[in-house]
Amino acid sequence: MIRIKSDEEILAMKKPGAVVASVFEAIAPLMKQGTSTGYIDRIAHQVIVDAGATPSFLGYGGPEVVPFPAATCISIDDEVVHGIPSDDRILKDGMIVSVDVGAYFEGFHSDAARTYMIGNVPPRVRELVEVTEEAFWKGLEQAKPGNRIGDISSAVQEHCESHGFGVIRVLTGHGVGRELHESPNLPNYGRRGRGLRLQAGMTLALEPMVTLGSHNVVLTSNDWTFVTVDGQPAAHYENTFAITDDGPIVLTMHS
């Protein structure tokens, strides 16, 4: 079921969105050689708790899924999403590192991700990170009432593939609100004019996941982390946003 949000609910969703934005501000200076992903996660967790919010990801799962053990997903190089932070994982020169964060506050969730470049990243990998972020904004331009899901999805796909990058199929964006994952799914590939028609009051997370090589991925033995099948790097960029009659509003960035 699609949960259409009122103006008041969208305003309420700005609060957990602001918490997530504050996490990125706090961890940005830590994204350098020698920092452990476990330390980054602890700082992010503290920012969330200090704001009176709860980490959306910590303990996330179900009866058949091992609960996620951290406040953030931190994925390095060929890890696409859901990397598990650890004090044993140390950032090194040339890595790309995506950090996915969710916060729950006063009845609503928010969800966003950024990919950071550590030190001297090869030019083609740097381009991958930049194009992934650009693709989000290309998709957001299509997020208006009367358009369709496919208009957003195809805009992301076309931008990434025009640069020769792979667009992951099996992992998608999603609705966000009182639940971390709501309907509908929001793929990063598709055809213009196809799919669910967009309405004012929809709140969605668009999250391009883009690879240097093949778009195929595999789930690792920890049952959470997805990696590229060919070992090539992947980048991830995400924001939660609301569709309104006056244009989309990004909820996970400070205004």
What's the average model confidence in pLDDT over 207-213? Answer: 98
Which pLDDT score, from 0 to 100, does residue 1 have?
87
pLDDT tens track for 65-111: 889 999 999 999 999 999 999 999 999 999 999 999 999 999 999 99
Q: C-alpha angle with apex 188: 15 to 121, nearest 5 degrees? A: 85
Backbone angles phi, psi at 17, to 5 degrees: -60, -40
Per-residue tokens: 95:
């890595």
pLDDT band with cut points at 50, 70 and 90 for residue 63? confident
pLDDT tens track for 158-173: 999 999 999 999 999 9
pLDDT tens track for 183-194: 999 999 999 999
Q: Which of 220, 224, 232, 191 is nearest to 69 (CA)?
A: 224
pLDDT band with cut points at 50, 70 and 90 for residue 33? very high
Q: C-alpha angle with apex 219: 159 to 211, nearest 5 degrees? A: 20
pLDDT tens track for 41-52: 999 999 999 999
* Average pLDDT taken over every residue of the chain: 97
Report the alpha-carbon distance of residue 34 to residue 55 in Å, rounded.
Answer: 25
- From the number of C-beta atoms within 10 Å of its C-beta (0-12, 13-18, 19+), residue 238 rates as buried
pLDDT over 80 at 62, yes or no = no
Which pLDDT score, from 0 to 100, does residue 65 have?
80
pLDDT over 90 at 255, yes or no = no
Report the alpha-carbon distance of residue 151 to residue 87 in Å, rounded.
Answer: 41
pLDDT over 90 at 141, yes or no = yes
Instruction: Enumerate the domain spans of the chain.
Output: 7-250
Which pLDDT score, from 0 to 100, does residue 223 have?
94
CB 132 within 8 A of CB 235: yes
What's the average model confidence in pLDDT over 134-161? Answer: 98
pLDDT tens track for 214-248: 999 999 999 999 999 999 999 999 999 999 999 99
Amino acid occupying residue 161: E
Which pLDDT score, from 0 to 100, does residue 216 have?
98
Which pLDDT score, from 0 to 100, does residue 64 have?
75
Which pLDDT score, from 0 to 100, does residue 55 have?
98
Which pLDDT score, from 0 to 100, does residue 168 have?
98
The architecture that CATH gives domain 7-250 is Alpha-Beta Complex (3.90)
Which pLDDT score, from 0 to 100, does residue 220 have?
97
Report the alpha-carbon distance of residue 34 to residue 32 in Å, rounded.
Answer: 6
Which pLDDT score, from 0 to 100, does residue 81 have?
98
